[in-house]
Structure 1
Amino acid sequence: MLLDIGFCSDSMKGLNEYTEGVAIVTGGNRGIGLETVKRLVEHGLKVIVGCRDGKSRDILMENLKEKNIPEEKVEWIELDTGNMKSVRQFAAKILEKNVPITGVMFVPHSLTSDGFEQHFAVNYLGHFLLTHLLLPKLIESGKPGRAARVVNISSAAHKVGYIELDDLQLQKIYTAPIGYGQSKLAQILFTFYLNKLISQRQDNVNVYAVHPGFIKTNLYDQAWYAQAARSANGWMFKTPEQGAERSIYCALSPDAESLSGHYFENCKSTRALEIAYNEELQKNLFDKSCELLGIKEFL
C-alpha cells in the first residue's frame, strides 16, 4: 500500500515573493492546477495556463471568478499536451512574449493523445517537448541563488510502473494503470537526467519531481478501480489545496533551492523507486524521447 498521510504546513513558511516574471501551468483549469495558479498569483507571479479550448477554457474562466483570482493576472493559451503540434504552437506563443519565465508547472490532467499512447504522451512526452522548447528562456531567466524551476507533477504510482524501451506505446500489454505508472516513472527519470545535464552546464535552472498526494479530484471518477480506491481509502485523500502545497513548495520555497533533481513527497525529498536512479535507463529514455520527437539537440 502506498501511504500518503503527511502535511506540509511547517515547510510552507517563507516562500519566495515575485514582483515580475511568469509561471506556466499546464492543465491549470481545476483541481490541483487551479489551486496552484491561485497560490502563484498570490505570490506575485503572472500565470499562463495551458489547456484546451472549449469546455476546459470555460471551466478555467468560471473557476477564476469563483476563486476570486484576478483575471488580469492569468492568461490562457490553448494547449493539448497529447498533440505535439499543439505543444510547439503553445511554446512559440509564449516565447513571442519575450518575458522572464520563472517556472513551469506540469500538473496532471486528462486529455486524449494523437499518435502516442495517451498516458505517455499527455503526462510525459508533451511536457518533455515543452521543457525543451522553453528551456532557453528558463536559462536566461534564472539567477544565482534564485533559479528558474521546472516542477514535474509525478505520482507515487511510479512505484508500480516500468519502462520497456522497445514498447513505450504498450502494444504488448496495456492497462490504464500500467500506462499511468509508466508515464509517471518516465517523468522522474527525465527529471533526474535533465538535472544532470543542467548541472554540468551550471545553468540556473532547477528541476523537481513531486508526488502531490492522493487528491479528491475528478481523476478518480474515470475508472472503477480508481473509484474503489477512493472509497476504500478515503481517509488518505487530500484536498486540491493540500495537493497544491506540495507543488508550490518546489516552485517557491527557498529551502528547495539546493535540492534540484530530487523527488518529493509531502514537501520532503525522499527516495523514488530504485530503478529511477539507473543512469543508463535515464539516458536511454531521454535519447529515445528525443528520437520520437525529432529533437536533434535538447540543450
Structure 2
Amino acid sequence: MNFIKKIFWDFYIFLKMLILGSCSLISEMCCFVQPIKSPINREKEYVVVTGGNRGIGWSTVKALAESGMKVIVGCRDGPSRDILYQSAKQAELPTESVEWINLDMSSMESVRAFGQAILDKNIPISLLINNAGTMSPYALTKDGFETQFAVNYLGHFLLTHLLLPRLIEAGTENKAARIVCLSSIGHAFGWFEIYDLQAKSYFNKLCAYSQSKSAIIMFTKVLHERLSLKNYPVKIYAIHPGIIRSALWTQHWFANIGYLTTKLIAKTEEQGAQRVVHAALSSQVEDLSGNYFENSKAVEPIKLVRNRDTQKKLWEKSCQLLDISQFGGLQ
C-alpha cells in the first residue's frame, strides 16, 4: 500500500473509531452489570484460564477460586507468574486453588506445551476461559503470524483443540462443560480480510484487533455447530466484557486519551469479570451456546462475522496454519 493511500486509510479508521467508540461508551454508561443471582459452588472442578495474572483475567480467576474451583492459570514465567501468586496471597485464596503453568500465547510451541502439561494431569476440565489478549504494534511471531491474530485468536483456537477431549469427558447431559472466549464490541469495527489474516498488505492496530475479535466470534459459532451435531456435552460462548478500565487501553495513544476522558463511564475489571463468570457459570445461558454476548445478553454480531462462507474459510485456514487434521478429535 502506497504512503498516500495508507494516510487516507489511517485517517478514515481514526474517524470510524471515534464514532463507534463514542456509541459504545454511551451504551456502556446505560448498562448495569448483572451478577449471578444465586451462590455458585463448584468445588473439586477444574478450570483453565489464559492470561489470568492481571486485569479481567485475574478478577475472573479470583471469582472462580472463591466458587470452589481449582484454577489452572496460563501466563508467562517471571514477573507475570509473580504477580499471579502475590495477588492470590493478598486475596487470601487457598494455596491449592490456583496453579500456574508457563504459557506464551504468541508461541504455538508454548501453547502446545501448556496443553500437554494439562493433559498429562489426567483431570477433567469443566471450564476453559480463553481470556488472554493484546493490542500491539505490528510484529510477526516466531511462527510467522501477526501478533494480535496469534495471541487473541489463533493460540486459543489451538488450545481449545488440545483440551476439547478433556472438556467432553467432564461434561454431562445435565451439566455441560463450557468454553468462554473473550471477544469485543471492537469486532463491530468491521475489518476482516480472510485473504490477509497476517496483515501483510495493510496494518492498523485497531483493524488487527477487530479482525482477531471477529475471528473469535466466528470460531465460537462453528465449534458450537460441530459440538451440537455430535451432541457433545460442551457449550461455547463469545463475550464482550464491556468497556473496561484496563491496561489494554494504554497500548494505543488515542485509545488511551479516550480512556482518560471517559474513566468514570468505563466499568471496573471486577465488573468485567462478573460478565465472564456469568457466561461461565450461570444457568441462564445454558441453552444459548454459540452466541455472542454483550452485558450478559445474547446479541447479534455484525453481518460480516455472521457470513457462513467466511466462517468456514476461517476455520479451514486456521486448521491449515496449525496443521490440524481433526479438530479436538471430533469424529
Shorter-chain TM-score bucket reads over 0.9
* Alignment deviations for residues 180-203 of structure 1 (CA, whole Å, 9 cap, x no partner): 110000000000111011110100
**Dislocated runs of 4+, deviation >4 Å:** none
CA-CA distance at 1:15 after TM superposition: 5.3
Q: Does the 8 A contact of 2:190 with 2:302 survive in 1?
A: no
| Distance (whole Å) between structure 2 residues aligned to residue 63 and residue 223 of structure 1 | 26
Match for 2:267 among 231, 235, 238? Answer: 238
Deviation, structure 1 residue 223: 1.9
CA contact (8 A) 2:126 2:167 kept: yes
Give the TM-score normalised by the residue count of structure 2. 0.87
Mapped to 2, the partners of 1:185 and 1:297 lie a distance apart of 23
Total equivalences in the alignment: 298
TM-score, normalised with respect to structure 1: 0.96
CA-to-partner distance for each residue in 1:98-156, whole Å, 9 max, x for gaps? 11101101113348833210110000000000000000110111011311000000100
Q: Percent identity?
A: 47
Offset of residue 16 of structure 1: 4.0
How far the C-alpha of 1:25 sits from its partner, in A, is: 0.4
- Could you tell me how far apart the structure 2 residues matched to 1:61 and 1:109 are? 20
Question: In structure 2, what is the Cα distance between the partners aligned to 1:178 and 1:56?
Answer: 27
Q: State which of 219, 227, 233 in structure 1 corresponds to 2:248.
A: 219
8 Å Cα contact 2:50/2:75 also seen in 1:
yes
Partner of 2:309: 280
Task: Report deviation, 1:7.
Answer: 1.8
Query: Is 1:8 paired with 2:37?
Result: no
- State the shift of 1:165 in Å: 1.7
Aligned CA RMSD, in angstroms, stands at: 1.4
SS at match of 1:7: coil
Q: For 1:123, what is the secondary structure of its paired residue?
A: helix
- Which runs of structure 2 are paired with 1:135-284 in the superposition (5 Å)? 135-284=164-313
Q: 2 CA distance for matches of 1:95 and 1:28?
A: 19
Cα deviation, residue 235, structure 1: 3.1
Give the stretch that moved more between structures: 105-114 or 207-216.
105-114
1:295 aligned onto 2:324 = yes
2:115 match: 91
Check conservation: 1:161, 1:184, Cα contact below 8 A: no
Letter in 2 for 1:133: L
Distance 1:15 1:169, change over 3 A: farther
Q: Which runs of 5+ in 2 are unaligned?
A: 1-22
SS at match of 2:111: helix
Q: Distance in 2 between matches of 1:15 and 1:246?
A: 15
In 1, the alpha carbon distance for the partners of 2:219 and 2:133 equals 19
List alignment gaps of at least 5 residues for structure 1: none
| Larger displacement relative to structure 2 (273-282 or 184-193) | 273-282
Post-superposition shift, 1:50?
A: 0.1
Contact 1:15 1:254 (C-alpha < 8 Å) held by counterparts: no
Q: Which has the larger radius of gyration?
A: 2
Whether the 8 Å contact between 1:15 and 1:249 is mirrored in structure 2 is no
Q: Provide closer, same or farther for how the CA distance between residues 126 and 25 of structure 1 changes in structure 2, counting only shifts above 3 A.
A: same
